[in-house]
């Protein structure tokens, strides 16, 4: 297989509602938060792991395009379809399709968002995030048990970058269209968790392919 080029898709992920990508409780020192978001361990700033965006794109594309997923509900491991080609096979069947074509980088807060969130949170004693209380209601008694849940507030922006490896025998346009379709599906649905409760509505803005603007 001969690598012929790389194609770079970049832009900004705008959170239109609060975004929650869960982190580990062990990573935070301040007590009390049962449901922390994931943060960069060095800066403490929230970020969107590349694996979260990649995973959402993949699972949505599988639901639409993978015969195996449609039948079993499991992630596709067929090793033949475009999902497996672009996103990689879960098992050691990569030889036929070659290496995974997509590289999704971690997305970090834009400088503008860092400044805005810092100012907004300072007086409330929060750290680049909001705390939302979700009620778990006991179905018998009707008693509500509020649970504090951390999320990145609506309006936050993250710079994202996706690199595509195009091999000589690849249909570049087919791969590009597939990735664009995946981004469009994430935009239609959600990123992170609790999407059915309104979390994680995102829009991809200022999108470019190799520096040329495009619309999803
Ligand atoms: Zn497959």
HEC profile of the chain:
CCEEEEEEEEEEEEECCCECCECCHHHCCCCCCCECECECCCCCCEEECHHHHHHHHHHHHHHHHCHHHHHHCCCCCCCCCHHHHHHCCCCCCHHHHCCCCEEECCEEECHHHHHHHHHHHHCCCCCCCEEEEEEEECCCCCCEEEEEEEEECCCCEEEEEEEEEEECCCCHHHHHHHHHHHHHHHHHCCCCCCHHHCCCCEEEEEEEECCEECCC
Q: CB of 164 within 8 A of CB of 3?
A: no
Q: What is the pLDDT of residue 56?
A: 97
Output the tens digit of pLDDT for each of the chain's 216 residues: 899 999 999 999 999 999 999 987 665 555 456 788 999 989 999 999 999 999 999 999 999 999 888 888 889 988 889 999 999 986 655 557 889 999 999 999 999 999 999 888 777 777 899 888 888 888 888 888 888 889 999 999 999 999 999 999 999 999 999 999 999 999 999 999 999 999 999 999 999 999 999 998
Q: What is the pLDDT of residue 182?
A: 98
pTM surpassing 0.75?
yes
Q: How remote is the CA of residue 69 from the centroid of ligand 1, in Å?
A: 8
Q: How remote is the CA of residue 104 from the centroid of ligand 1, in Å?
A: 19
Q: How remote is the CA of residue 200 from the centroid of ligand 1, in Å?
A: 27
Q: How remote is the CA of residue 90 from the centroid of ligand 1, in Å?
A: 9
Q: How remote is the CA of residue 15 from the centroid of ligand 1, in Å?
A: 30
Q: Which residues pair with 102 in a beta bridge?
A: 164
Q: How remote is the CA of residue 180 from the centroid of ligand 1, in Å?
A: 18
Q: How remote is the CA of residue 216 from the centroid of ligand 1, in Å?
A: 24
Q: What is the pLDDT of residue 25?
A: 65
Q: What is the pLDDT of residue 29?
A: 52
d(C-alpha 45, C-alpha 109), whole Å: 8
Q: What is the pLDDT of residue 144?
A: 84
As a whole number of Å, the end-to-end CA separation of the chain is 30
Q: How remote is the CA of residue 26 from the centroid of ligand 1, in Å?
A: 36
Q: CB of 37 within 8 A of CB of 129?
A: yes
Ordered by where they begin, the domains of the chain are 3-25+46-124+153-213 (3.30.70)
Q: Which residues pair with 19 in a beta bridge?
A: 152
Length of the chain: 216
Q: How remote is the CA of residue 210 from the centroid of ligand 1, in Å?
A: 28
d(C-alpha 124, C-alpha 32), whole Å: 15
């Amino acid at each position: 297989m001969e690598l012929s080029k790389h194609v770079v898709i970049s832009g900004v992920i705008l959170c239109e509602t609060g975004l929650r990508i869960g982190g580990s409780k062990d990573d935070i020192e301040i007590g009390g938060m049962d449901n922390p978001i994931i943060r960069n361990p060095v800066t403490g700033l929230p970020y969107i792991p590349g694996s979260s965006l990649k995973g959402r794109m993949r699972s949505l594309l599988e639901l639409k395009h993978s015969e195996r997923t449609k039948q079993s509900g499991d992630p596709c491991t067929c090793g033949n379809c475009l999902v497996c080609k672009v996103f990689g096979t879960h098992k050691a069947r990569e030889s036929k399709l070659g290496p995974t074509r997509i590289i999704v980088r971690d997305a970090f807060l834009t400088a503008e968002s860092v400044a805005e969130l810092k100012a907004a949170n300072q007086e409330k004693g929060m750290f680049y995030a909001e705390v939302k209380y979700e009620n778990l209601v006991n179905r018998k008694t009707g008693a509500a048990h509020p649970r504090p849940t951390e999320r990145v507030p609506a309006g936050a922006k993250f710079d994202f970058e996706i690199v595509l490896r195009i091999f000589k025998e690849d249909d570049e346009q087919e791969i590009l269209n597939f990735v664009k379709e995946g981004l469009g599906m994430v935009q239609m649905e959600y990123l992170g968790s609790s999407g059915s409760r309104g979390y994680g509505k995102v829009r991809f803005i200022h999108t470019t392919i190799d520096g040329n603007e495009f619309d999803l």
